[in-house]
Amino acid sequence: MTLKRPKRIITIVIIILTITGYNFIRKDFQKAESTIYFNATIITLEDGLPTAEAMLVEKGIIKAIGTSKEILSLKNSHTKAIDLKGQTIMPGFIDSHTHVALSAFLENMVDLSGFKHKTSKEVWDYLKAQALTKKPGEWIVGKGIDPVLVEDLVSPNLVFLDSLVPNNPLVLISQSLHTYWVNSKTLKKVGIDNFTKNPSESSFYEKDSLGNLTGLIAEQKAFLPILAVLQKDVITPKSLMNATTKVLKAYAKNGNTTIVSAGITINDAKPLRLYEFLATENPKFINQLLAAVGILPKRVPYPRHFIYIRQDKDFLLPKKPIDNDFYSILGVKFWYDGSPYTGSMYLNVPYLNTDFNKNSLRIPINSRGKALIKKDDLKNLFINYTKEGWQIAVHAQGDVANQDVIDAFAEANNEVDVTKFRNRLEHCVLLPESSFDKIEALNIVPNFHVNHLYYYGKALDDKIIGTERANIILPVGEAQKRHLKYALHADQPMFESKPFRLIQTAVERLTKEGDTLGFNQRISVLEGLKAMTINAAWQIHKEDKLGTLKKGKYADFVVLDKNPLKIPTHDLENIKILKVFINGNEILN
């Protein structure tokens, strides 16, 4: 009898400790209390109630929206009330095409971009200075090489890079993310030489007339062996995790409450565990346990995160689509052509034969670019993924590329119904207006990379494709005229995800130099706001939950210092994001 009592006490203690430990591990960040936001200018983006003054948010859901008097009458002893003193509220932005993994990968690299440096000398002097801070043999990785934004920058060759950085393996990544440069140390370390086979005609290791490597690498497949070594030697799991949380906070700072990774570049499912843990409403116990011991970061509110898996990494797809309002894998991403600034945009008429194209962009004379996938293969892949229930997004820049992709969807539709998936065309630089009838019939939605116009419009006009084609790029106005659910994106990390900058470009159609391109393709500010909220939500099948402020929808919203509908268009990019809320929880102080 005396022995049973201590055993019973020990058992009780173990149970108490187990429950305490479980509750400690399960504890999440503090969720927002029931709150009324009143005395605000609320842009709902709902046609039935376009404006309001107040809304009640409970457990992450908008419970009521209307006048301040109406909503304040719902207040009880458990409800907090916040006077916004006339500030503007609107739905949180949805970055419908971005690259979280790549943004995190590049986060801590040497910045050689045209946003930081104005001349070629500045770029190379800065790189050389950074190299001097490294030990011999230590990797140096630079980002942002751009002969368009840095106008006197010429594509470097192996001899130049070896002279600049003789003692360290060096990798340079272009602003377009489609071209790379390396020195001899890198080639030797990775095992690439004059006899290394090119992965494809469109992705290759450039050689001179004597058959020697120049140091230039075109497109992603040829870069993968170097990426694999970088991921092993440079990007540790801990550094990548820290960079990911930093990047996600930056998306939120710019007003993005939802982000969509359009073709994630990873080799295993470990990053997916991180993304799910940070975005989901109800984290798995095992992930909370990993966070408790420091393997995963501490949870705070982060943007919702939806993902398209690269087609060549489809082993990362789950067995079937799983619907979730905070995190899920939506479908598959293809690249059908490349970049306008590497000569790999697939065109009907060749690039201009200018000195800039030949010497700075290294585009061969009379080049039209080419497809990265055979058209028949594309059609068959569309059929297979459609049968499995996956939405499809396809990178297409040139006029031929866009038309081929649309035709492939049309051919696939003869065998399977592709129309219900809202499949996506990504970037759409030279999307032909003649293709819009077929786009409508197939229920395909365009997603426009309008920063091409703002940052590169003048170069496209003067040096790359010429005035006639530059004036028909990015036909956003035609998409609006046809009431398509188009969206706008920045393609981060190519450009930082700043929604108001994108909207301003789509409205003004001005290059950064002040030139107008495609005046007839302008849209209104209201249409631009919808493109980056409710339209983007529609593209990911979330229009019933996200994209507008309405009773029953999630309380994803931003507080602004100015009303975008009441200020001059040229001031849009200067609007300040004061606060950001996801599921009712504030994520930016």
Tens-place pLDDT, residues 163-214: 999 999 999 999 988 899 999 999 999 999 999 999 988 889 999 999 999 9
Q: Give which of 172, 177, 165, 154 is closest to 215, Cα–Cα.
A: 172
Based on the number of CB atoms within 10 Å of its own CB, is 443 exposed (0-12), middle (13-18) or buried (19 or more)?
middle
Q: What is the pLDDT of residue 14?
A: 72
pLDDT of residue 22: 67
Under the banding of pLDDT at 50, 70 and 90, the label for residue 315 is very high
Report whether pLDDT(425) > 90: yes
Residue 454 confidence (pLDDT): 97
Q: Is the pLDDT of residue 20 over 80?
A: no
- Highest CATH level, class, for 102-233: alpha beta
Beta strands in 160-291 (DSSP E): 170-174, 179-182, 204-207, 213-218, 256-264
CATH number of 35-86, picked from 2.30.40.10, 3.30.1330.10, 3.60.15.10, 3.40.309.10: 2.30.40.10
The amino acid occupying position 304 is R
Domain-wise residue ranges, the chain: 35-86, 102-233
Q: What is the pLDDT of residues 41-58, one digit of tens each?
A: 999 999 999 999 999 999
Q: Are 426 and 448 in contact (CB under 8 A)?
A: no
pLDDT over 70, % of the chain: 97
The CA distance from 388 to 424, in Å, is 17
Here the contacts of 574-579 (C-beta below 8 Å, separation 24 or greater) are 574/500, 575/500, 577/253, 577/254, 577/255, 578/87
CA dist 509 and 571 (Å) reads 14
Alpha-carbon gap, residue 542 to 303, rounded angstroms: 14
Q: Which pLDDT value is given to residue 24?
A: 64
* pLDDT at residue 3, rounded to an integer: 54
Question: What phi and psi, each to the nearest 5 degrees, are found at residue 556?
Answer: -105, 110
The Cα–Cα gap between 531 and 541 comes to 14
Q: Which residue in 342, 359, 455, 451 sits closest to 115, CA to CA?
A: 455
| pLDDT, tens only, 116-173 | 999 999 999 999 999 999 999 999 999 999 999 998 998 899 999 999 999 999 999 9
CA distance 289 to 25: 6
